[in-house]
């Protein structure tokens, strides 16, 4: 039979082991949970930085087209060239910038006045004409062009002496944007 002293020593030993082991186990569980949360937070921050970088590149890409479009609009209105010469200006812009599929000029009723395309497309900017006439920039949803590349339509008003005289719509090819964004590598940027 065990003596009272041995029973007390065993109980004391168990209490001492538990007192040392329980904090270690709790600390281990807490450390694992904290490391897991830190890893998740780090990935989320990195993903947000990549998303911001992509959004910045997309914004810059589209802003370049808007700037080109504004310059073209000013050229068409201030130069007051003949219809044939204006057509040549549209085609010149379209050929000069590989990323542009087409440039179209509409009157205030939405009728196509001229196009950079040799075969004038059958387009009606009815869904956005009223907003563009008011001065708003229109950016369409992405759609597939005739040559099967992703594209959008950017439309803005053509103004002369502060009055809207037409709508200039440009169709940039988004394939170039896709190539630009594909250069972003997760973990390498």
Cross-strand partners of 173 = 151
The overall longest dimension of the chain from CA atoms, in Å, is 119
User: Does 58 or 6 have the greater pLDDT score?
Assistant: 58
What per-residue confidence (pLDDT) applies to 189? 46
For residue 80 the two structure tokens come to 């007051």
Q: How many C-beta atoms surround the C-beta of residue 93 within 10 A?
A: 19
Its pTM surpasses 0.85: no
pLDDT tens sequence across 50-94: 888 888 888 888 888 888 888 888 777 766 778 788 888 888 888
Question: What are the φ and ψ backbone dihedral angles of 78, each rounded to 5 degrees?
Answer: -85, -30
99 contact partners, CB below 8 Å, separation of at least 6: 65, 172, 173, 176
Sign of the Cα pseudo-torsion (78, 80, 86, 88, in order) = negative
Of 9, 11, 13, give the one whose Cα is nearest residue 21: 13
With a cut of 70, say whether residue 124 has pLDDT above it.
Answer: no
Reduce the DSSP state of residue 154 to 3 states and report it.
Answer: strand
Cβ atoms 166, 158 nearer than 8 A: yes
What per-residue confidence (pLDDT) applies to 37? 92
With a cut of 70, say whether residue 97 has pLDDT above it.
Answer: yes
């Amino acid at each position: 039979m065990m003596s009272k002293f041995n029973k007390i020593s065993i109980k004391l030993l168990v209490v001492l082991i538990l007192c040392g082991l329980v904090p270690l186990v709790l600390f281990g569980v807490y450390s694992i949970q904290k490391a897991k949360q830190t890893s998740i937070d780090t990935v989320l921050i990195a993903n947000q930085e990549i998303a911001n970088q992509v959004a910045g590149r997309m914004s810059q890409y589209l802003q370049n087209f808007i700037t080109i479009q504004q310059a073209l609009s000013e050229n068409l209105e201030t130069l007051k060239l003949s219809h044939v010469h204006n057509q040549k200006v549209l085609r010149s812009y379209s050929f000069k910038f590989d990323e542009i599929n087409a440039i179209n000029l509409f009157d205030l009723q939405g009728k196509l006045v001229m196009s950079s395309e040799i075969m004038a497309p059958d387009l009606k900017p009815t869904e956005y004409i009223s907003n563009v006439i008011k001065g708003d920039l229109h950016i369409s949803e992405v759609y597939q062009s005739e040559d099967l590349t992703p594209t959008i339509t950017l439309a803005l008003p053509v103004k002369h002496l502060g009055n809207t005289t037409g709508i200039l719509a440009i169709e940039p090819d988004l394939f170039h944007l896709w190539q630009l964004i594909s250069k972003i590598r997760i973990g390498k940027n």
